[in-house]
Amino acid sequence: MISNATQRVIFRWIHIVLAIPIVGYIYSPFDKIPQYAAPTRYVFLPIMVLTGLWMWKGHVVRRLFSKRSTRQVAAHDA
């Protein structure tokens, strides 16, 4: 498994790189906006939101799944 620090760095860079097209979408001329609309709405923004949420509350999700997996193993062994 990869360390938490490495995981944070990876998610941080994904977050930063995906912010670049969004900034381009916001500051582009009006005639170029239809070209950027679909990829920005359906690819860049959702992935950027997910990486941001993971950096913010990822420890809670990991803790939730680790407790659930230990319960399932204990229930299976019983």
- pLDDT single digits (tens) 1-16: 788 889 899 999 999 9
Q: Give the E-state strand segments of 1-78 in sequence order.
A: none
pLDDT, residue 17, reads: 94
Q: How many whole angstroms separate alpha carbon 52 and alpha carbon 56?
A: 6
pLDDT, residue 42, reads: 94
Tens digits of pLDDT across the chain (78 residues):
788 889 899 999 999 999 998 888 888 888 888 888 889 899 999 999 999 999 999 889 888 888 766 666 566 555
The reported pTM is 0.69
Check: CB of residue 49 under 8 Å from CB of residue 56: no
Domain boundaries, the chain: 4-77
CA 16 centroid distance within chain: 11
Q: How many whole angstroms separate alpha carbon 18 and alpha carbon 37?
A: 14
Check: CB of residue 45 under 8 Å from CB of residue 26: no
